[in-house]
Structure 1
Amino acid sequence: MAWIYLIISGLGEVGGVTFMKLSDGFRRWKGTVGAVAAGFVSFFFLSKALQSIPISTAYGIWTGIGSIGSVILGMTVFGESRDWRKMLFLSMIITGVIGLKVISGNH
């Protein structure tokens, strides 16, 4: 169950940064409320995941999910560049996240 919590937490992180972008520097209330709510979800589920998963693994994967999701949303929703170098480094983050999960054992 801890891994499900960690995935939810990572998705909350993606939601948080997306709503931050939509809040326009916290000037738009809907984006601001969304950022706060998503941030709460993210940290709540991260705290639940940390009860079973080592912090070094959980934090690395949490930030990886946030980074990967933010880059993908930036490219698909906000029209950011799809440069091959960006894709290369994104694949390195994905590889790192998979590696952390593999070496984490049975947690």
Structure 2
Amino acid sequence: MAWIYLVLAGLFEIGWAIGLKYTEGFTRLFPSLFTVLSMFVSVVLLGLALKTLPVGTGYAVWTGIGTVGTALLGIYLLGEPATVARLACIGLIVAGILGLKMAT
């Protein structure tokens, strides 16, 4: 169950990271509310996951999911560059996440 909490926490981290772009410095109400709610849910789910997972593994996987998801959505939604080097680095992060999952 801890891994399910962790994956969900990572997905909510993506939500708030992308949401920050749409808040325009927290000047827009609904994107700001969504972003703050996503931050809260993400941290609560991370806390639940860390009840049984090692903190180093949990935190690294949480930030990795958030990093990969945010980078990919930045490419898809915001027109950020999708260079070979950037995609290769995202692949390395995914490999690290999988390695941590298999090692735990």
- Bin of the TM-score, shorter chain as denominator length: over 0.9
Query: How far apart are the structure 2 equivalents of 1:74 and 1:18?
Result: 8
Is 1:18 the counterpart of 2:36? The answer is no
Q: CA deviation at 1:40?
A: 0.8
Residue 82 of structure 2 corresponds to 82
Query: How far apart are the structure 1 equivalents of 2:74 and 2:18?
Result: 9
Match of 1:97, as an amino acid? I
Count of residues paired in the alignment: 104
Match of 1:10, as an amino acid? G
The structure whose residues are more often helix, as a share, is 2
Q: CA deviation at 1:15?
A: 0.3
Q: CA deviation at 1:87?
A: 0.4
**What is the DSSP-based 3-state SS (H/G/I as helix, E as strand, rest coil) of the residue aligned with 2:52?**
coil
Residue 41 of structure 1 corresponds to 41
Uncovered stretches (5+) of structure 2, i.e. residues with no partner: none
What percentage of aligned pairs have identical amino acids? 38
Residue 65 of structure 1 corresponds to 65
Uncovered stretches (5+) of structure 1, i.e. residues with no partner: none
Match of 1:58, as an amino acid? G
**What is the DSSP-based 3-state SS (H/G/I as helix, E as strand, rest coil) of the residue aligned with 1:26?**
coil
Query: How far apart are the structure 1 equivalents of 2:30 and 2:20?
Result: 10
Moved over 4 A (4+): none
Q: CA deviation at 1:65?
A: 0.2
Query: How far apart are the structure 1 equivalents of 2:42 and 2:5?
Result: 9
Residue 94 of structure 2 corresponds to 94
TM-score for the superposition, normalised by structure 1: 0.95
**What is the DSSP-based 3-state SS (H/G/I as helix, E as strand, rest coil) of the residue aligned with 1:62?**
helix
Query: How far apart are the structure 1 equivalents of 2:62 and 2:69?
Result: 11
